[in-house]
Amino acid sequence: MKKKTLEDLNVKGKKVLVRVDFNVPIIDGVISDDNRIIQALPTINYLLEENAKVILLSHLGRIKSEADLAKNSLEPVAKRLQELLGKDVLFVNQTRGAELEAAINNMKESEVVMLQNTRYEDLDGKKESKNDPALGAYWASLGDVFVNDAFGTAHRSHASNVGIANCLEAAAGFLMEKELKYIGDTVDKPERPFVAILGGAKVSDKINVIENLLIKADKILIGGGMAYTFMKAQGHNIGTSLCENDKLELANTILAKANGKIILPVDVVVTKEFAEDAPFRATGYKGLKEDEMGLDIGPKTIKLFTKELKGAKTVVWNGPMGVFEFANFAKGTEAVCEVLANLKGARTIIGGGDSAAAAIQMGYRDKFTHISTGGGASLEFLEGKKLPGVESLNDQEECNCGSGCDCEHE
The domain locations on the chain are 6-176, 190-382
Residue 398 is predicted with a pLDDT of: 67
* Rounded Cα gap, residues 357 and 363, in angstroms: 10
- 36 catalytically annotated: yes
- Other beta carbons within 10 angstroms of residue 5's beta carbon come to 17
pLDDT confidence bin for 410, thresholds 50/70/90: very low
According to the model, what pLDDT value does residue 28 have? 85
Q: How crowded is residue 121: how many other Cβ atoms within 10 Å of its Cβ? A: 25
Catalytic residue among 4, 14, 36, 178: 36
Give the start-end residues of each E strand in 225-298: 262-263, 267-271, 280-284, 293-297
Question: Residue 403's pLDDT is what?
Answer: 45
pLDDT for 33 equals 86
Count the Cβ atoms, other than its own, within 10 Å of residue 168: 21
Task: Please report the pLDDT score of residue 188 as a whole number.
Answer: 86
- 223, 225, 353, 389: the catalytic one is 353
Cα 309 from Cα 299, distance rounded (Å): 15
CATH of 190-382, one of 3.10.20.880, 3.90.470.20, 3.40.50.1260, 1.10.260.40: 3.40.50.1260
Q: Quick check: helix, strand or coil at residue 318?
A: strand
Phi, psi of 329 (to 5 degrees): -120, 25
| Band of residue 401 on the pLDDT scale cut at 50, 70, 90 | low
Q: pTM for this one?
A: 0.88
Active-site annotation holder among 126, 202, 272, 300? 202
pLDDT band of 365, cuts 50, 70, 90: confident
Domain 6-176: give its CATH code. Answer: 3.40.50.1260
Catalytic residue among 13, 61, 284, 376: 376
| Other Cβ atoms within 10 Å of 342 Cβ, number | 9
Q: What are 283's strand-pairing partners?
A: 268
Q: Each residue of 253-284: pLDDT tens digit?
A: 999 999 999 999 999 999 999 999 999 999 99
In angstroms, rounded to a whole number, what is the distance separating the alpha carbons of residues 179 and 222? 23
The pLDDT-based confidence of 399 (bands split at 50, 70, 90) is low
pLDDT, residue 353, reads 80
Distance, in Å, from the CA atom of 88 to the CA atom of 109, rounded to the nearest integer, reads 13
Q: Is 319 a catalytic residue?
A: no
Per-residue pLDDT, 404: 47
The bridge status of strand 267-271 relative to strand 293-297 is antiparallel
Tell me how far apart the alpha carbons of residues 57 and 22 are, in angstroms, rounded to a whole number: 9
- Residue 409 confidence (pLDDT): 40
367 classed as catalytic: no
Residue 25, preceding bond cis, omega within 30 degrees?
no
Q: Is 311 left (phi over 0), alpha (psi -120 to 50) or beta?
A: left
Q: Which of 104-108, 337-341, 362-366 has the lowest mean pLDDT?
A: 362-366
Residue 405 pLDDT more than 60?
A: no
With a cut of 90, say whether residue 344 has pLDDT above it: yes
Vertex 89, ends 83 and 95: CA angle to 5°?
Answer: 130
* Residue 294 neighbours by CB under 8 Å, 6+ apart: 228, 238, 239, 241, 268, 269, 270, 288, 322
The pairing of strands 30-31 and 26-27 is antiparallel
The average pLDDT across 291-308 equals 98
* HSE, side-chain direction, 13 A CA sphere, residue 37: 21
Residue predicted with more confidence, 176 or 27: 176
